[in-house]
Amino acid sequence: QSVLTQPPSVSAAPGQKVTISCSGSSSNIGINYVSWYQQLPGTAPKLLIYDNDKRPSGIPDRFSASKSASSATLAITGLQAGDEADYYCGTWDSSLTVVVFGGGTKLTVL
Amino acid sequence: QVQLVESGGGVVQPGESLRLSCAASGFTFSSYGMHWVRQAPGKGLEWLTFIRYDESKEYYADSVKGRFTISRDNSRNTVYLQMNSLRTEDSAVYYCAKEGKHFDPYIDYWGQGTLVTVSS
């Protein structure tokens, strides 16, 4: 059971938009930055978003994210087949004093 | 470019020990904290431990506290994970990872991972 809750799967057609939610609490998302990671099949995770809504260099602006209260959302527009991957949210939990990840969301591009 | 290369994985029996290493390059290792994260087959990411850049503080997940120890050698640009009293449920790919910036929980680079299998 993960501290952060994500839907197990989402799907959408190429070119469409999809959103992935990440629900936490006042001790984690509520007071700390959220980051998002993409894990393509058979590879290590890769940073997509940090500090709630910032993209590292090289990440296309099709990927965006936001945070509100104790929840965060990753949005991917203009879906491509290459976006099929597992997506994880992460943050620090100030009560548990640990890094916490969501359970991951598998994105399928139909 | 940042490179993190893990080594030391393998097959061990329950109750045995293993030490993982992660050699870092492409950045000033002594200026960044380092994490270990694992992923069991077909499962999600599980954060295990973090050590600050200056070794002043370590943090552990409850699942490994008291059994695993993180350490680093800034002169060798290497971070270690000593794993004792291994259990079958510790079987996973183990990733070392670099913090993005101090006091910010994101990870900006990950290694390729090393597989640990605990089986009798």
Residues comprising chain A, all counted: 110
**pLDDT confidence of B105, banded at 50, 70, 90?**
confident
* 8 Å CB contact of B47 and A90: yes
pLDDT at res. A1: 81
Q: Please check the confidence at residue B66 and state whether its pLDDT lies above 90.
A: yes
**pLDDT confidence of B83, banded at 50, 70, 90?**
very high
* 8 Å CB contact of A44 and B110: yes
DSSP per-residue codes, B45-107 = EEEEEEE-TTSS-EEE-TTTTTTEEEEEETTTTEEEEEE-S--GGG-EEEEEEEEEETTEEEE
For A71-92, the pLDDT digits (tens) are 999 999 999 999 999 999 999 9
Would you call B59 an interface residue with chain A, using a CB distance cutoff of 8 Å? Answer: yes
Please tell me which residue of chain A has the smallest CA distance to B38: A44
Would you list which residues of chain A are within 8 Å, Cβ to Cβ, of chain B?
Answer: 2, 32-33, 35, 37, 39, 44-47, 50-51, 56, 86, 88, 90-92, 97-104
Q: Which residues of B touch A92 (CB under 8 A)?
A: 105
Q: How large is the average pLDDT for residues A13-26?
A: 97
A13 C-beta neighbours (distance < 10 Å), count: 9
Q: Which residues contact B24 (CB under 8 A, 6 or more apart)?
A: B2, B3, B4, B34, B77, B78, B79, B96, B98
Q: Please check the confidence at residue A56 and state whether its pLDDT lies above 90.
A: yes
Q: Which residues of A touch B105 (CB under 8 A)?
A: 32-33, 35, 90-92, 99
* 8 Å CB contact of A33 and B47: no
Q: Please check the confidence at residue B30 and state whether its pLDDT lies above 90.
A: yes
- B92-101 and B104-110: which strand pairing? antiparallel
pLDDT at res. B2: 97
State residue B29 phi and psi, 5-degree precision: -55, -40
The span from the CA of A19 to the CA of A65, in Å, is: 9
**pLDDT confidence of B103, banded at 50, 70, 90?**
confident
The span from the CA of B40 to the CA of B90, in Å, is: 8
Tell me the percentage of chain B whose pLDDT exceeds 90: 97
Secondary structure (3-state) at B14: coil
* 8 Å CB contact of A90 and B95: no
Q: How large is the average pLDDT for residues B77-81?
A: 98
* 8 Å CB contact of A35 and B105: yes
Would you call B106 an interface residue with chain A, using a CB distance cutoff of 8 Å? Answer: yes
Q: Which residues of A touch B104 (CB under 8 A)?
A: 33, 50-51
Would you call B41 an interface residue with chain A, using a CB distance cutoff of 8 Å? Answer: no
